[in-house]
Amino acid sequence: QVQLVESGGGLVQPGGSLRLSCTASGRFFSLNYMGWYRQAPGKQRELVAGISESGSINYADSVKGRFTISRDSAKNTVPLQMNRLEPEDTAVYYCNAVVRGDYRSSPTTYWGQGTQVTVSS
């Protein structure tokens, strides 16, 4: 079993910054992929940014140039630096991880409980 613990959400004014962090713990063979999704009220959950085990990164178009995802493989942590935040970034942000329990198993997806980000003046 894998647990994902998120931190760093909160209230910030437009143009401000926040840093989210997600740490994966538990027993697993590999963390194939880690990323951040978000869900605003009345909308579907969408990918914000993700990073593979090899370091390949992808971003939603709406956050390119403002958000930066990185990965500390030694600590199984994925920070998300969010700059120049806009009211449209308001949502619950969820950490996501694709994990293999052992070298023979198929990948399994896990989700964190979510952290609220509110951008408002």
Q: What is the pLDDT of residues 44-90, one digit of tens each?
A: 999 999 999 999 999 999 999 999 999 998 999 999 999 999 999 99
Can you tell me the mean pLDDT for 35-52?
A: 97
C-alpha 63 chain-centroid distance: 13
Q: Is the pLDDT of residue 103 over 90?
A: no
Instruction: Report pLDDT for 47.
Output: 98
1 band by pLDDT with thresholds 50, 70 and 90: confident
List, in sequence order, every beta strand (DSSP E) within 1-121. 2-7, 10-12, 18-26, 30-39, 46-52, 57-59, 67-69, 77-82, 91-100, 108-111, 115-119
Q: Is the pLDDT of residue 101 over 90?
A: no
Strands 115-119 and 10-12: parallel
